[in-house]
Amino acid sequence: MTTGKNNLEMSSPASAPAPKKISRRDVLKSAGIGGIGVLIGASGVGGLLSMTESKANSSGKTDIVPFYGKHQSGITTKPQDHVYFVALDVTAAEKSALVKLFKEWTEAAAMMTEGKPVGELSSNEFLPPKDTGEAAGLSASNLTITFGIGPSLFVKNGQDRFGLKHKQPKELANLPKFPLDALEEEWSGGDLCIQACADDPQVAFHAVRNLIRIARGKAILHWAQPGFQRTKQADPKDETPRNLFGFKDGTVNPDIKNEKEVNQHVWVQPGDGPNWLAGGSYLVVRRIQMFIEVWDRTNLREQENTFGRYRDSGAPFGQKNEFDKLDLKSKKENGEYVLPVNSHVRLSHGDGSQQILRRAYSYSNGMDVKTGSFDAGLLFLCFQRTPSKQFIPMQQRLSTMDKLNEYTSHRGSAIFACLPGTNKGGYIGETLFN
Ligand SMILES: C=CC1=C(C)c2cc3[nH]c(cc4nc(cc5[nH]c(cc1n2)c(C)c5CCC(=O)O)C(CCC(=O)O)=C4C)c(C)c3C=C
Ligand SMILES: [Fe+2]
């Protein structure tokens, strides 16, 4: 998980004016009372609904992350408490259908991130409501919706599906097979992806559900995985969240408030590859099962040796505090490094030149029916400018030597190019499809 101490982007300035308390449910009421339901029922996304404004959350603050901008939100946004991640397969055969889909998705995503429904809630009893309704009355909850494109959208089974092959970036290629990978088709790949993050799980699910509904006839679900962190209510000090092994996870990350750092490590720069992706970012997703029952039988010293950090404080070995620098040089009397050579932090850090923006969430999917143990772990989401120089060499080191491999198994994997942002009137994907 990825909440570093200093790397928080605030989604709404503290000085923002108090919002009008009109929520998704207010639209429903006004539609019923004023008899404008049929009108709304006949209108498309937007229309009369633009009258509404998002409700404040329980602490009275607006919780809207702007959707429009140079970059998509949900990447350098301070991680919300929940994610709903889906990968999709495109069933449409024409590029024009894809363009229509992205236009509709953009409009719907912009509405939902403002806490508004994507269409009427329940105004015309002779039609299915456009919005599915479960977010009625809920605040925007810092919802972000991030769209990505997989390598198979360009070429599948040798076919240039949409005449886009010449635009495929070299970096957008299937990841190599790493030692110990136990990947399953049902958790891997996808032509497109949607990452919906919010401080409320129902708001995140509602967003994905409505986008899938809009995609009917054009794209279908390939795989889906919800994830969570501790909530902000449960952790008012907003410390680094702990993963399901009980360790603080997300301490070291590029500073999302530092433009130079994110340009260096996260955003694709003009000249890096095809221009359509400048301002975007590559997302690598790994669905990593964690054998929590085995871990729970492992003594604390072994657990701490696995990461090279102390469980309680999160400090790296040989240091006192969580945010102290790694000590890569000190040795013990017996000549061994204080920070074990096979520890997760030593190996993932390497020489420090490769950095990725981690934005991971825990998941728990009930029981693994094959083993009778929990199917729980980490939905590892990380963003970067150049996967071949960042995630790939890092994972190569980890997959061969990491002590953590005794307790984890990589069950799913995918890579996506997250498109640059767009402005009002434009649509996500315009730089690629135009
Ligand atoms: C290839 C990239 C990485 C994978 C896959 C990965 C899996 C993974 N990590 C943890 C728990 C922790 N990771 C920590 C640090 C850390 N991990 C990576 C990369 C991958 N992790 C990096 C780049 C770093 C930072 C290294 C550094 O420079 O210090 C930590 C320590 C605290 C922290 O900094 O976040 C923990 C804990 C799990 C459980 C896991 C797979 C299930
Ligand atoms: Fe890690």
| 411 CB-side CA count, 13 A | 19
Residue to substitute in 6, 303, 345 for testing ligand 1 pocket (most ligand atoms within 8 angstroms of CB)? 345
Question: Is the pLDDT confidence value at 15 over 60?
Answer: no
Number of Cβ atoms within 10 Å of the Cβ of 353: 9
Q: What is the pLDDT of residue 119?
A: 83
**What is the Cα–Cα distance from 265 to 152, expressed in whole angstroms?**
25
Strand partners, 251: none
- Please name the amino acid found at residue 244: L
Element housing 219 (H / E): strand 219-228
The DSSP code for 426 is: S
Q: Within a domain: residue 396? A: no
pLDDT at 203: 98
Instruction: Give the integer Cα–Cα distance in Å for 173 and 152.
Output: 9
Ligand 1 atom nearest to CA at 248: 37
> Which residue's alpha carbon is nearest to atom 7 within ligand 1?
380
CA of 80 to the centre of ligand 1 (A): 19
CA angle 422, 62, 51 (to 5 degrees): 70
Return mean pLDDT, the chain.
Answer: 89
Query: How confident is the model at residue 120, as a pLDDT?
Result: 72
The ligand minimizing its distance to the Cα of 397 is 1
If you take atom 25 of ligand 1, which residue's CA is the nearest one?
Answer: 252
Query: CA 277, CA 431: separation in Å to the nearest integer?
Result: 8
Atom of ligand 1 nearest to the CA of 247: 37
What is the C-alpha separation between 85 and 79, in angstroms, rounded? 14
Q: What is the DSSP string of 3-25?
A: --SS----SS-TTPPPPP---HH
Q: Flag whether pLDDT at 384 surpasses 90.
A: yes
Which of 18-22, 52-56, 335-339 ranks highest by mean pLDDT?
335-339
Token output for 54: 């998002």
Alpha-carbon gap, residue 51 to 324, rounded angstroms: 50
- For the chain, the maximum distance between any two Cα atoms, rounded to a whole number of angstroms, is 81
Residue 358 lies in a domain: no
Q: Does residue 262 have a pLDDT over 50?
A: yes
Burial of residue 38 (CB within 10 Å: 0-12, 13-18, 19+) is middle
Q: What is the pLDDT of residue 175?
A: 98
Instruction: Tell me the average pLDDT across 306-313.
Output: 98
**pLDDT at site 124:** 84
**Whole-number pLDDT of residue 40:** 30
Phi then psi dihedrals of residue 306, to 5 deg:
-60, -45
User: d(Cα 399, Cα 239) in Å, to the nearest integer?
Assistant: 29
Average pLDDT over residues 367-388: 96
The model's pLDDT over 153-168, given as tens digits with 9 standing for 90+, comes to: 999 999 999 999 999 9
Instruction: Give the atom of ligand 1 at the shortest distance from the alpha carbon of 290.
Output: 42
Residue at 281 is within a domain: no
Give the CA angle between residues 241, 359, 408 to the nearest 5°.
75
Residue 326 pLDDT exceeds 80: yes
The answer to whether 108 and 209 have CB atoms below 8 angstroms apart is: no
Structure tokens at 391: 């995630």
- Measured between alpha carbons, how far is 78 from 111 in angstroms, rounded to an integer? 20
pLDDT(224) > 80: yes
Q: What's the whole-number mean pLDDT along residues 208-224? A: 98
Q: Cβ(251) to ligand 1 under 6 A?
A: yes
Closest to 163 (Cα-Cα) out of 151, 153, 172, 150: 153
Q: Which domain holds residue 209?
A: 24-173+182-240+256-270+421-433
The residue type found at 299 is: N
Residue among 343, 337, 334 at smallest CA distance from 310: 343
Separation of 348 CA from ligand 2 center, angstroms?
7
Answer yes or no: is the C-beta of 394 below 6 A from any ligand 1 atom.
yes
Residue nearest to atom 30 of ligand 1 (CA): 249
348 lines ligand 1 (CB under 6 A): yes
Helix ranges, 167-232 (H): 201-214
Rounded-to-integer distance, Cα 215 and Cα 218, Å? 5
Lowest mean pLDDT among 19-23, 35-39, 268-272, 357-361: 35-39
Note whether 53 and 19 are within 8 A (CB).
yes
Within a domain: residue 196?
A: yes
Pocket test for ligand 1, best of 344, 383, 391 (most atoms within 8 A of CB): 344
In ligand 1, the atom with minimum distance to the C-alpha of 349 is: 28
For residue 95, the surrounding DSSP H or E stretch is helix 95-113
pLDDT at 17: 36
Q: Is 71 in the pocket of ligand 1 (CB under 6 A)?
A: no
What's the number of CA atoms in the CB half-sphere (13 Å) around residue 388? 8
Residue 264 in any domain: the answer is yes
Mutate to test the pocket of ligand 1, among 5, 239, 252 (most ligand atoms within 8 A of CB): 252
The pLDDT score that the predictor gives to residue 14 is 32
In this prediction, residue 19 carries a pLDDT of 36
Please check whether residue 335 lies inside any domain of the structure: no
Residue 257 burial by Cβ neighbours in a 10 Å radius (0-12, 13-18, 19+)? middle
**CA R_g for the chain:** 22
What's the pLDDT score for residue 302? Answer: 98
Neighbour tally for 182: CB within 10 Å? 10
In whole angstroms, what is the distance from residue 36 CA to residue 224 CA? 37
Q: What is the pLDDT of residue 4?
A: 35
Helices (H) and strands (E) in the chain, counts: 10, 11
Residue 259, pLDDT > 60, answer yes
For residue range 29-75, list pLDDT tens digits in order: 333 322 233 233 333 333 222 223 345 666 667 899 999 999 999 99
Count of the separate structural domains present in the chain: 1
Neighbours of 286 (CB within 10 A): 25
Q: Is residue 301 part of a domain?
A: no
Residue type, 323: F
Q: Is residue 151 part of a domain?
A: yes
- How high is the pLDDT of residue 8? 32
pLDDT digits (tens, 9 = 90+) for 177-198: 999 999 999 999 999 999 999 9
pLDDT of residue 97: 98
The string of DSSP codes covering 265-299 is: HTSPPTTSS-GGGTT-EEEEEEEEEE-HHHHHTS-
**pLDDT tens figures, 280-306:** 999 999 999 999 999 999 999 999 999
The pLDDT, as a whole number, for residue 59 is: 65
From CA 136, how far away is CA 63, in angstroms rounded? 16
Q: Which residue has the higher pLDDT, 249 or 56?
A: 249
Give the whole-angstrom CA distance, residue 342 versus residue 117.
50
pLDDT at 10 over 80: no
